[in-house]
Structure 1
Amino acid sequence: MGQTAAVSAFLWITVVSLAAWCWLLLGQGFFWRTDVRLPRRREPEVWPSVCVVVPARDEAAVLPDSLPSLLAQEYPGRAEVFLVDDGSTDGTARTARELSQRHGGLPLTVGSPGEPPAGWTGKLWAVRYGIGLARAREPEFLLLTDADIAHAPDSLRELVAAALSGGFDVVSQMARLRVESVWERLVVPAFVYFFAQLYPFRWIGRRGGRTAAAAGGCVLLRADTAAEAGIPDAIRHAVIDDVALARAVKRAGGRVWLGLADRVDSVRPYPRLPDLWRMVSRSAYAQLRHSPLLLLGTVAGLVLVYLVPPVAVAAGVVAGGAATAAAGALAWAVMAGTYVPMLRYYRQPLWLAPLLPFTALLYLLMTVDSAVRHHRGRGAAWKGRTYARPDAVPDEG
């Protein structure tokens, strides 16, 4: 009797998981589709001026693969690049100057703001300094891009044309991340898939929509909007600064567009699982607002949505529960089917789609590890800095 009740309960749990996947398939902004690319655009008669701000901390190894692509931008208007050395110890500033001398192209200014004061993340303190340098040029747009991002020659031109044509205050592209090692193949496409599930791109770009997000590697921002939204001062302690930036812009009445990139690529390698683990775990708990209740809800949700289907198939086959196995298999099939477009976008083999539950388990463990690190006082750590939760930081405002 007890065993029958347990089997029946698990069947209902599996049915709930299947229902969740039906909702995700149709009701979550079609997040799984990868056709949200730069919107239709027309070129203006007069091109606005743009300043490119690149915060960089210990990036000498990747700059040769990224900075020349910015200097080589084929932009019809006035544009220049400001690289802000955020306390590097590997000769980042020297490397940037050498690359500028060797490649030429857009004018490059290299500066350093010193160590960030309490309440600021290093990246946003560097962005603040870079925007301050850029203001002397009175640009109409700012391009905030990371030091590990390589741009196609027409990237800046296309971003500006999209912003002007669509009336957007922010146009952001999620750079195509590097996918070469075994672990990158397993983890990286899923990272973008999960992000799109949390922040459906179609919802971000629609008028009046409350969903807000951007991809920090490539953010074109109107300079006037940045001033009105108080960027970056208003988000100075944000670890997930791209999402915080988009929210600040929307609160100020601005419009945001986010989509996948075709010719904007990350050159940073994450060859080993520990490299990817650090990338995810450093901000996962911050994404949950450092809330134990949200952590529990996230873990439960990941188990229900991603882990129950394969377990139901295995349990149904072993125990002879045809209904449980069928419901689990159908949920698993929908899950894998929604993952296929992202695998195609990353040019990966489709046999990776059924392995998504394993990858989701990895992300679950990374999220838990992020919370454990926070409660042990190691918080969001990156390149020698550890950031406390916002409400633990003194406000200097």
Structure 2
Amino acid sequence: MTLDVVASDIFVAEECEQFARSVDGFLAAHAAPEAIDRWRDAKCVDRATWTAAAEAGLLGISVGEAYGGAGADFRFEAIITKAIGHRGADALTISLHNAVILPYFSSFGTEVQKRRWLPKFCSGECLTAIAMTEPAAGSDLQGMKMTARKCDGGWRLSGQKTFISNGQIADVILVAAKTDPAGGSRSISLFIVDARGDPQGFRRGRNLDKVGQEGQDTSELFFDDLFVPDGALLGGTVGRGLPQLMEKLPQERLIIAWQAMAMIERALDETIRYTRERPMFGQTLADFQNTQFKLAEYKTQAVVCRVFVDHCTDLLVRGELTAELASMAKYWASEELTKIVDGCLQLFGGYGYMLEYPIARMFRDSRIHRIYGGASEVMKLLIARNL
């Protein structure tokens, strides 16, 4: 019971429908339940799956054709995100690679940087991560302690990052660091770190244990006077990091809203199926008025959320999505997700507490959506600035 029937017409184009079928075909072959279990046990997605995704044309879908991509718009990133969420394959962080990190290179990279890196990202030769968060600096980016000190021919990076998705498998990491210790809006720059071979001065920490999303590797990263050449400064201009981050965070937040939306739809599918099959007092659980009322509430909440997320997607494609609306989408979808998944789990009764049931895993996996990409409380602050 996906909610495409209530969506706007932004996804009805033939090329969108064809692409959605190809994504579903890829996931059926490479993200079956046994593969997802394997990722969860290994705490990361194997490289072969990423290679297969590149061969299927799923990596760098929005990158320009001149750099190895398909030149598609954000709708196609949303299609990938939806399909992954509907299968519970969230550990496969294609959306992070495609729609969160690669846009920094496409929008801000020099021509040399784009020609060097974007084809490798599209081919799967290089996987990516972005390192912003630190042990004492999450949503407060200006509070970061990581430094980049100018030296002959380049920069020396020193500091620590944490909660970095793809930290174990990334070949190239976009690192935020302070280039001006005096602070201010021009104090941060972004650096392209070639992490292949774990160069001297760079170390990957442990793969962190988390409440949920176990199949997605999340790491600590350590930089001890790591040298990067001048050409590693994204865009070639110092002090542009914070404006670059502020420009791209709305798209990241809309991706998180789509992740939440896909999990909401999956939770409803699983719960409706279960309640129709579960016998109770001579009838099924779905026959009880309480069940019907609860599912009616959840479906209504889901439809309202989906229409808004679709609207924001349409605005983004047209270049009109504001930071305020993106914050609303991320905040609302994340909050609705945890409420709906919790309510759906309740309808499963004791079985909802058993991890072999998808709803139990969704209960654990959903919690992070209210935190990463900017906590719900931070989203409210950003929304309140425009009151």
TM-score band (shorter)? under 0.3
Q: Which of structures 1 and 2 has the larger relative contact order (alpha carbons within 8 angstroms, sep 6+)? A: 1
Per the normalisation by structure 1, the TM-score is 0.26
Pair member with larger Rg: 1
Q: What TM-score do you get using the length of structure 2 for normalisation? A: 0.27
